[in-house]
């Protein structure tokens, strides 16, 4: 699977869990070839956000599903509590394969980096060299890294599952101390960095 989407919903305060119950049903009505990969709620960072990660068999499938949602008067059955929704299109780094569905978290860190205008190619080169040492059993796995093909660009999103905050701090500290991360030449490409920690919904394939 090459093509992905992150649908980010911001809902009214104290409506997250009721919205999730309705989303679980509504997301099953997707166009054939649409795959729900994960659904999470924000824990640390912007609040009252629901992140939905989906993969698609083709660009045509992604476009058909997008139009279905935008033209649907039911609005994923959360229109009464929805403050904002934002679609972001991504393509996976060509040398990475996403983790299989299952329990990898329960903490998932979404790190989004905005790059200088020519920063994507050297970022991919650095990642290709560094990601294998960074994701050994000595450290931790990455779910995937994806570069944006819509909205502000160039930018990319990388999603890291952790069991605890303590594990996250330990792994991040050791990878830097051991010289395996960040990737070579990564720093000069960066402009803005944003991180949010999410917890999986009960129906999320990634937990």
Range(s) within the chain of domains with CATH label 3.30.70.100: 3-92, 107-197
DSSP string, the chain: --EEEEEEEEE-TT-HHHHHHHHHHHGGGPPTTEEEEEEEEEEESSSSEEEEEEEESSHHHHHHHHHHHHH-TTGGGTTTTEEEEEEEEEEE-TT--PPPSB-S-SEEEEEEEEE-TT-HHHHHHHHHHHHHHHTSTTS----EEEEESSSSSSEEEEEEEES-HHHHHHHHHHHHHTT--SPTT-GGGEEEEEEEEEEE-TT-SB-
pLDDT in tens, the chain (207 residues): 999 999 999 999 999 999 999 999 999 999 999 999 999 999 999 999 999 999 999 999 999 999 999 998 887 999 999 999 999 999 999 999 999 999 999 999 999 999 999 999 999 999 999 999 999 999 999 999 999 999 999 999 999 999 999 999 999 999 999 999 999 999 999 999 999 999 999 999 999
The per-residue pLDDT for 12 is 98
**Between 2.60.120.260, 3.30.70.100, 1.10.150.120, 3.40.50.300, what CATH number should domain 3-92 receive?**
3.30.70.100
**Between 1.10.10.10, 3.40.50.300, 3.30.70.100, 3.40.190.10, what CATH number should domain 107-197 receive?**
3.30.70.100
Predicted TM-score (pTM) of the model is: 0.96
């Amino acid at each position: 699977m090459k093509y992905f989407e992150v649908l980010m919903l911001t809902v009214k305060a104290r409506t997250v869990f009721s919205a999730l119950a309705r989303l679980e049903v509504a997301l099953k009505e997707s166009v054939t070839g649409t795959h729900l990969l994960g659904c999470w709620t924000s824990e640390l960072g912007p609040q009252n956000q629901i992140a939905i990660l989906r993969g698609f068999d083709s660009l045509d499938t992604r476009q058909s599903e997008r139009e279905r949602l935008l033209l649907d008067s039911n609005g994923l059955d959360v229109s009464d509590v929805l403050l904002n929704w934002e679609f972001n299109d991504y393509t996976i780094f060509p040398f990475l394969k996403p983790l299989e569905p299952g329990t990898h978290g329960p903490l998932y860190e979404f790190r989004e980096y905005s790059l200088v205008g020519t920063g994507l190619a050297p970022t991919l080169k650095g990642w290709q060299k560094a990601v294998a040492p960074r994701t050994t059993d000595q450290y931790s796995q990455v779910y995937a890294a994806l570069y944006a093909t819509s909205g502000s660009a160039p930018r990319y999103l990388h999603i890291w599952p952790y069991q605890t905050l303590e594990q996250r701090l330990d792994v991040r500290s050791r990878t830097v101390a051991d010289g395996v991360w960040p990737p070579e030449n990564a720093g000069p490409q960066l402009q803005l960095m944003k991180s949010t920690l999410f917890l999986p919904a009960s129906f999320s394939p990634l937990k």
